[in-house]
Amino acid sequence: MEAGAYLTICILMWGMAIFTMKLAGQGLDPMTLAVFNAAGQLIIGILLFSRANIGIGKYHLMGIAVGVLFVLGNMAFYKLSQTSQVSTLAPMTALHIAVPIVLGIVLLGEPVSVRKGIGVLFALVALYLLSNSDS
């Protein structure tokens, strides 16, 4: 499969997940929703287990850390979704893109370019326009 297909799947799955988080948050408290989210991830993990490189190395532990970070972030999103509109909340939480950009530049030495800077600026402008009320 080509990168474009994976990008499309990623955008669609994450977008539908955020929308579904909002719906599920209308009937479940954040902790309960986090438990059932983890159950969904566990199901996928069990299905993929035979293909996994099982071990307890540095990168395996980082994989566990990724899961912990996602669960904690999702719990905060669940709480927010109980009081905010998903059409406002989703673009606001999209600020998370700034974190890996800064960390990639600072810690991994990834190159900074004018084009990237302009792209981030446009993303922030879009975020501002999407997150502000029309009223």
**Based on the structure, what is the number of domains in the chain?**
2
Statement to judge: residues 57 and 19 lie in one domain: yes
Statement to judge: residues 108 and 74 lie in one domain: no
pLDDT of residue 78: 86
Cα(4)–Cα(15) distance, integer angstroms = 16
Statement to judge: residues 100 and 64 lie in one domain: no
- Model confidence, pTM: 0.73
pLDDT of residue 132: 67
Cα(100)–Cα(108) distance, integer angstroms = 10
Statement to judge: residues 107 and 59 lie in one domain: no
Domain termination site, one of 48, 65, 83: 83
Cα(84)–Cα(87) distance, integer angstroms = 9
Statement to judge: residues 3 and 64 lie in one domain: yes
Per DSSP, the three-state class of 132 is coil
Statement to judge: residues 69 and 91 lie in one domain: no
pLDDT surpasses 60 at 135: no
Statement to judge: residues 42 and 54 lie in one domain: yes
Whether residue 84 contacts residue 18, with contact meaning beta carbons closer than 8 Å, is answered with no
Statement to judge: residues 124 and 79 lie in one domain: no
pLDDT of residue 134: 59
Statement to judge: residues 1 and 19 lie in one domain: yes
Take residue 25 and report the two structure tokens written for it: 């948050």
Cα(65)–Cα(101) distance, integer angstroms = 19
The boundaries of the domain holding residue 131 are 86-135
Closest CA to 85 of 4, 7, 25: 25
Statement to judge: residues 62 and 127 lie in one domain: no
User: Tens of pLDDT along 73-110?
Assistant: 888 888 888 888 887 788 778 778 788 888 898 999 99
Statement to judge: residues 23 and 66 lie in one domain: yes
Statement to judge: residues 79 and 124 lie in one domain: no
